[in-house]
Structures are given as structure tokens and as C-alpha cells.
Amino acid sequence: MPQPATTPDRRRLQGRVVRVLAAGQVLGGLGTGAALGLGALLVAEVAGSPAWSGMSATMGTLGAALLSVPLATLALRRGRRVSLTTGAVVAVLGSLVVVVAAVAGALLPLLLGVLLVGAATSLNLQARFAATDLAAPDARARDLSLVVWATTVGAVVGPNLYEPGEDLGRALGVPPLAGGFVIAAVAQAVGALVYLVGLRPDPLLTAAADDAARTPADTSPAPRAGGLRVLRESPPARRAVLTVALSHAVMVALMSMTPVHLTGHGATMTAVGLTISLHVAGMFALSPVFGYLADRWGRRQVVLVGQALLLASLLLVLVGAESHIAVVVALVLLGLGWSASTVAGSALVVTAVEPARRPALQGVSDALMSLAGAVGGALAGPVLTLLGFGGLAGVLVVLVAVTTAVQLRPPVVTSQVTDPVT
């Protein structure tokens, strides 16, 4: 285990950790962005029906849910370095399975590959928490948001690689829509190398060593517990996790059906790629602003700002689903609402319990966040078919209302956590 770090050493190490995580997020965002939206189209093409298109988002988010707890457990035992590297390698494997399945025209292997690609989401989610392991209490949301922001570079460029990805697919002799997954595999492979080499010493293990050094010798270490047990015992943890999960479900459901809606109304792949790029920019570009506000203004207040932005997005879709411009604006607002809710909500997850229980809670939070997205993606396809794009937005208003009600309830204060910013 790494030795305890002095305060100056801890600050320098934290700065390097954030830089390494940011570099990994750029590469991960590039890979995810290059394949984002293509999964729905590829599944629809192989299945022969757009009704299956929602299964792409479902399997991707389900994969992230299934892998989040194992990766968090691996982080707890072996550190963030091993966990994040493992997640990137699994994502590479998943992208390659997607390409092979697309060539064979096999739907089930294709869905399995998309499920494994969900590891990219798991490691991206865990990376934001890794940024808080050594962060000062009044800078946790800021450091977390900087890592989230780093995804902007790759994630905005990625969707604009749709057409180059198609050209690459043709050059390699695979279905054109599979070309984006080739780009994703390469980007994630480089990201795995960045984590493997750069996260030395490991931030989570160093933080554990620091905590152990500050604990009096005659004091028993804080007991560890599984994430589900933490949820049962901690009302603040339940509130924070529910906020992140429901906000993510709204984003995934609307975003995953946007390419299907737009192409069904005659939009080109370039127009779809630009729309998704702007949405992703909304998700990540202003995250440092929301992180700063969460540390200074209050995390619950920023969550409520996020819910207001999500509601504005859904109402715009309700009245302007047939307008491409209205859909673009709505997708930008959707991204901004997700960003505010996720950055501030994740900071609430970090501060909901004492340090010894945080990794387990973070893993369960990521799993439930991904499961909520999987449910949103699974239901979005049938709802789109029955009610249209505007009807889907109307259904999602209910989730925004629930999240807002959760945050408007008086906060529960516990004596275990002393972080002053809530």
C-alpha cells in the first residue's frame, strides 16, 4: 500500500491524478462519442426493425450497471489504477465483438458486444469519483467536474466521426455503421495504457493510507459495508443516488431515440452527428461551472437548477418535435440539465457517508444510475412507436417531477459526515 502523503505532496498528487483522469476521459469520450447513436442504428439494421433500436441503449447501460459494482470492488481491493484499466480493456473487447457480430449479421452477439462496451460508461463514471479520493472537502465537486469536463473534447469530436467511421468500415470490409466501433476500440486501448502508466501512486490506496495514519492506534477502523446496506442505513445516500439515477434515465431515454427520430424525418447522418455533438457539449462543456457552483452555492441547489433545465428540454420537445432546430436546442438543454444534476448529485453521493463506505456506495450508485438508463432506453423505443417523440418527452416529465420533489424535501443531517457544503 502507498505511504501516507504530506499535505503539499497530496496536493501535487491530486493535481496529477486529475490530469491523468482527464486524459483518459478525453480518449474514452472519443471512443464513446464515435459509437454514440450508431448502436441504435446498427441494431435496427441487423434486426430489420426500428422497434429494436432502443435495445442498444438498454444493453449498453445494462452492461455498465452489471460492471459498476465489480469494478468498484476491484478499486477497493486493488486501487483505481487496476480498476479503470480493466474497464477500458473490457470496452475494447466489446467494440471488437460488435464489429464481428455486425459482419455476421448476428443480433444476439451484437447486443452482447454492446453490453461489454458498457464498461466504458462504468469506468467514466468511476473516474469522476476517483477525482475526489484526494480532493480537499471544499473542492470535491470542482475536481469531479473537471474530469467530467475532459470528456467534452473526445465526446464532441466523436459523433462527427460517423461518416469517417463509415468510410473506415468500408475500407476494412465491415458494415459501414460498425466503423465507429473500430475507432472506439483504438481510443479505449490507448486510454487503458494512460491509466495503467499514469495512476502511480494510486489515489484511492493513498487516501486509505492517509486515513489510517490519522486514525489513533487504539481506534478500531470504520467497518466496511456493501453499497446496498449503506443505502438502507443512510437517508442522505438514498436521496443522492436516486437523484443521479432518475436524471440519467431521463437523459438516456430522450437522447437514445433522437437519432431514430431525426433519421425517420429525413435528417442526414451529418445532421444527426452534429445534433448529438451539441448535446454532448451540453453534457460536459459547462460541468466545471456547475462544479464550482455546487462547492460555493450548494449541491442541492445546483441539482434543482439541473431539473429545471431538464424540464425545459422536455417541454420544448413536446411543442416542437417536428422542428429540427427545436430538437437541437432541446438536446442542448437536456445535456446541461444532466450535467448540473450529475455533477452536484455525485458530489452529494461522495459526502453522504464516511470515507470507508464511499467506494461501495459509489459502485452501487453507478450501477443504479446505469440500470435506470437501461430501463429508460428499453421503454423509450416502444413509447416512441406508440406516442411519438413528443409523447416520450411527456412521459419523462414525471421522472423530473419525482427528482425535484426528492430534493425539495428537508435534508437529513447525520453526524458521520462533516462536509459543510450540501
CATH number of this structure's domain 7-209+227-408: 1.20.1250.20
Q: Where are the domains of the chain?
A: 7-209+227-408
Residue 421 has pLDDT above 70, yes or no: no
In the three-class reduction of DSSP (H, G, I as helix; E, B as strand; rest coil), residue 362 is classed as helix
Tally the C-alpha atoms within 13 A of residue 305's C-alpha that lie toward its C-beta: 20
| CB proximity list for 18: less than 8 A, separation 6 or greater | 131, 143, 146, 147
HEC profile of 68-107: HHHHHHHHHHHCHHHHHHHHHHHHHHHHHHHHHHHHHCCH
What pLDDT does 36 receive?
A: 64
**Three cell numbers, residue 141:** 465537486
Burial of 374 (0-12, 13-18, 19+ CB in 10 A): buried
267, containing H or E segment? none
Per-residue pLDDT tens over the stretch 343-373: 999 999 998 888 778 888 988 998 898 888 8
Rounded to whole angstroms, the Cα distance separating 168 from 308 reads: 41
Do 64 and 125 contact (CB within 8 A), yes or no?
yes
Q: Which three cell numbers stand for residue 52?
A: 429494436
H-type helices in 409-419, by residue range? none
**Average pLDDT score over residue span 52-70:** 81
Alpha-carbon span 374 to 65, nearest angstrom: 8
Asked if 338 contacts 283 with a C-beta cutoff of 8 angstroms, the reply is yes
pTM for the predicted model, two decimal places:
0.79
Asked if residue 252 lies in contact with residue 280, where contact means CB atoms within 8 angstroms, the answer is no
Lowest average pLDDT, out of 153-162, 231-240, 312-321, 369-378, goes to 153-162
More confident residue, 226 or 85: 85
User: What was the pLDDT predicted at 203?
Assistant: 93
The pLDDT tens digits for 73-85 are 899 889 999 999 9
Do residues 68 and 125 make contact, with C-beta atoms less than 8 angstroms apart? yes
* Residue 127 pLDDT: 92
3-class SS at 297? coil
The tens digit of pLDDT for each residue in 111-131 reads: 999 999 988 888 888 999 999
Secondary structure, 3-state, 188-251: HHHHHHHHHHHCCCCHHHHHHHHHHHHCCCCCCCCCCCCHHHHHHHCHHHHHHHHHHHHHHHHH
Integer angstrom CA distances of residue 100 from 34, 46, 114, 223: 17, 12, 12, 46
Residues in the chain, total: 422
